[in-house]
Structure 1
Amino acid sequence: MTGTALQVEALVQRGAFRLDATFRIEAGETLAVMGPSGAGKSTLLGVIAGLVPLTSGTIRVAERVVDAAPTPRTHVSAAQRGVVLLGQDPHLFPHLSAHDNITFGPRARGVERRAADADADEWLWRVGLAGLGARHPAQLSGGQQQRVAIARALVTKPAAVLLDEPLTSLDAETAGDIRALIREQLTSTGTTAIVATHDAVDAVSLASRLVVLEGGIITQWGPVRHVLAEPATRFAAAVAGLNRVDGHAADGEWVSGELRVEASVAGDAAAIFPPSAVHIDGVDASTWTGALRLDSAPTGRGVWLARVVRLEPTPAGIRVRTTDPDVAVDVTADRAAELGLTNGMPVRLRVDAAAVRIVRA
């Protein structure tokens, strides 16, 4: 099986929302699409799959135009364009066994029963469900149902597979297993794929390139490593587990709010650094105005006063969100308790200069 190149030039206007995205995926490549809720990820996949109409633009599958608007209008139906969409819900036929769910696609395309049965048996083995083909969806776990859905998607040898957050509803261990399965099968079959996800692990594990979609437009795209190492927006930085703070550099110093660091660039620029590089201490005041009165002298480069805006749990402790500027700080739970961190509390932050990269905006 050989993947197929996709060329997307999509403009979709749906009420107040506008999607405007242009990119190309090479044959056999997996592209990750990340963005906040409402950014247009599902709309984009729906356009490529033929489920959402174009306002204007062109969709090409292997250089074949399957969608074009406004004139001349072309629209190849979802069933005829060779693109499979797999979402969070596997959408298995409840009245069919796992085996018959997999044979449904080939049989609908005219494959004779014996060959379809043989393909289904092979795919049940490939996805780790050998011996479970007679079970119906209600007799399978969520992870097993997703495995059947993957087999059903790939057995028809599609031109491309679109994965719309297929791991979101699974627990972490099951999601890890399914993620490894998807990578293995996409690689072995050479299937072109787009993975829409909220999880950077999906992008790193499955894709070679990453598109960041925000507010219906592409704000950054490139190799996954490059996008995560030098995020162009605060959202992309959050996905990469980094702080990105926009500011201005002049006379060897970059400034944003109360934060100042040494800089070798000039003009609009951003500071990028991990939350783990920021140290947090309490101040001898319970209010912001009180902290300012006690700390009216300059704090120096890399040291500033901030306010806690919220606390978020992390696997290793607590992420403290602060402002001004907006910076995340990672601390252990016992350190947070020691400081008595609460929303609105003034704190002193210090960032290691060696951990800060200043990049042009």
Structure 2
Amino acid sequence: MEKLREGAGREELRADGTTAAVIDASFTVEPGQIFVVMGLSGSGKSTLLRMLNGLLEPTAGQVRFDGQDLTALSARELREVRSKKISMVFQHFALFPHRSVRDNAAYGLEVQGVPRAERERRADEALALCGLAGWEASWPDELSGGMQQRVGLARALATDADLLLMDESFSALDPLIRRDMQDQLLQLQHTLKKTIVFITHDLNEAMRLGDRIAVMRDGRIVQTGSAEDILLRPADDYVASFTQDVDRSRVLTAEAVMDREVRGDEAECDCDTATPDTPFTELCAISARLSHPVAVLDEHRGVVGVVPRQRLVGFLGDAPDPAPVSCDAPRDQGGEKEVARA
């Protein structure tokens, strides 16, 4: 988003009296994706998010959403986009203490000028989706932290916005409540198929939620890819240092660890085989029952790869590094709706 000198870093720019929060960031978010931006405090991720809805204006470049360049819109046009097409869920809930849970959830609709009966109906539907049916008439201070965050999420969902921006939305919650909120978000996403940009400093959260993940450092995006890409093919030592303590069994699938050199005709066995999306832990259980490698079958029950037991052990880190996985590098594809580039 900030482009002052090609290849210049923060220290060089600071010497000129310039503070660059985000430098040369370019990425595409596909419709229906959860795109996670991950980095340590000060890496520029929250600044990047605020550029996506026009709260901050980039020094150079464009933020394209639904065919529009948001940086070229007037203040009135930008307010219209923010009120109807883009919703934000904040870290610290941002609820109005003098409004009921229902009225908090309906606030975005009130700003749009939606009649009271309709906005209350839509707010109640969003609250029910977030597990808060029966709490509509309560006050925010009567709710736990996790429940308050659910109200914030319901407020974003009630407007039926195309894009949800979530800025460290779960980081203020206790670990167990945080995991519950992650579960809630994944369940909602399975139903609603929203496009979500989610900011976090927690790699485990990023890998659990993200269809694609961008890792930021000192204002730059140093790697973009799936959780498996980040874990198995880190772009540099900085990314590798993030992944060294990650529980790989929670991230990897059969597709990530299988040997693709082996293919075959239709398999007749109805048991003790895997599919490309079989979780790693389930793959280990299957392997433990067999004296031969696990066959990985596609939807037509053709063999697309095999997983030897030693390969599973290697990916858990209990043996020398496994041979490189033979698979194509991910390619970014042009999105139809959400693009941010600079």
- The TM-score with structure 2 as length reference comes to 0.64
* CA shift for structure 1 position 119: 1.3
> Residue deviations 1:88-113, cap 9 Å, x none?
11101111000011112112212222
Q: Which moved more, 1:145-154 or 1:229-238?
A: 229-238
* CA shift for structure 1 position 187: 2.9
Question: How has the CA–CA distance of structure 1 residues 12 and 54 changed in structure 2, closer, same or farther, with 3 Å as cutoff?
Answer: farther
Conserved 8 A contact 2:30-2:195:
yes
Counterparts of 1:358 and 1:84 in 2: how far apart (Å)?
41
2:70 equivalent to 1:66: yes
* CA shift for structure 1 position 211: 0.6
Counterparts of 1:235 and 1:184 in 2: how far apart (Å)?
32
Task: State the AA in 1 paired with 2:129.
Answer: R
Question: How has the CA–CA distance of structure 1 residues 90 and 180 changed in structure 2, closer, same or farther, with 3 Å as cutoff?
Answer: same
Deviation above 6 Å: which 4+ runs of structure 1? 356-359
Question: How has the CA–CA distance of structure 1 residues 12 and 140 changed in structure 2, closer, same or farther, with 3 Å as cutoff?
Answer: farther
1:326 maps to: none
Question: How has the CA–CA distance of structure 1 residues 352 and 150 changed in structure 2, closer, same or farther, with 3 Å as cutoff?
Answer: closer
2:40 maps to: 36
1:27 maps to: 31
Conserved 8 A contact 2:39-2:217:
yes
Alignment of 1:118-157 (within 5 A): 118-157=121-160
1:48 maps to: 52
> Residue deviations 1:292-313, cap 9 Å, x none?
xxxxxxxxxxxxxxxxxxxxxx
Q: RMSD between aligned alpha carbons?
A: 2.4
Conserved 8 A contact 1:49-1:78:
no
Residue segments in structure 2 that go unaligned for 5+ positions in a row:
5-16, 247-316, 326-342
Name the structure with the higher strand share: 1
Counterparts of 2:180 and 2:107 in 1: how far apart (Å)?
25
Conserved 8 A contact 2:21-2:43:
no
Counterparts of 2:103 and 2:189 in 1: how far apart (Å)?
22
Question: How has the CA–CA distance of structure 1 residues 107 and 11 changed in structure 2, closer, same or farther, with 3 Å as cutoff?
Answer: same
1:203 maps to: 206
| Number of equivalences | 239
Identity %: 35
Counterparts of 1:172 and 1:79 in 2: how far apart (Å)?
36
Conserved 8 A contact 1:106-1:156:
yes
2:78 equivalent to 1:109: no
Counterparts of 1:124 and 1:358 in 2: how far apart (Å)?
46
Structure 2 residue corresponding to 1:184, chosen from 171, 177, 187 = 187
Counterparts of 1:94 and 1:137 in 2: how far apart (Å)?
6
Higher gyration radius (CA): 1
2:223 maps to: 220
SS in 1 for 2:198: strand
* CA shift for structure 1 position 169: 0.9
Counterparts of 1:124 and 1:212 in 2: how far apart (Å)?
32
Alignment of 1:288-307 (within 5 A): none
2:78 equivalent to 1:77: yes
Counterparts of 2:318 and 2:114 in 1: how far apart (Å)?
63
1:11 maps to: 2
Q: RCO greater where, 1 or 2, for CA within 8 Å and sep 6 or more?
A: 2
Name the structure with the higher helix share: 2
> Residue deviations 1:212-251, cap 9 Å, x none?
11111111111221112221233322332359xxxxxxxx
* CA shift for structure 1 position 171: 0.7
SS in 1 for 2:133: coil
Alignment of 1:169-318 (within 5 A): 169-241=172-244
SS in 2 for 1:130: coil
2:320 equivalent to 1:354: yes
Residue segments in structure 1 that go unaligned for 5+ positions in a row:
1-9, 244-350
- The TM-score with structure 1 as length reference comes to 0.61
Conserved 8 A contact 1:209-1:223:
yes
Conserved 8 A contact 1:65-1:74:
no
SS in 1 for 2:106: helix
Question: How has the CA–CA distance of structure 1 residues 238 and 74 changed in structure 2, closer, same or farther, with 3 Å as cutoff?
Answer: farther
Counterparts of 2:175 and 2:25 in 1: how far apart (Å)?
31
Conserved 8 A contact 2:170-2:181:
yes
* CA shift for structure 1 position 358: 8.9
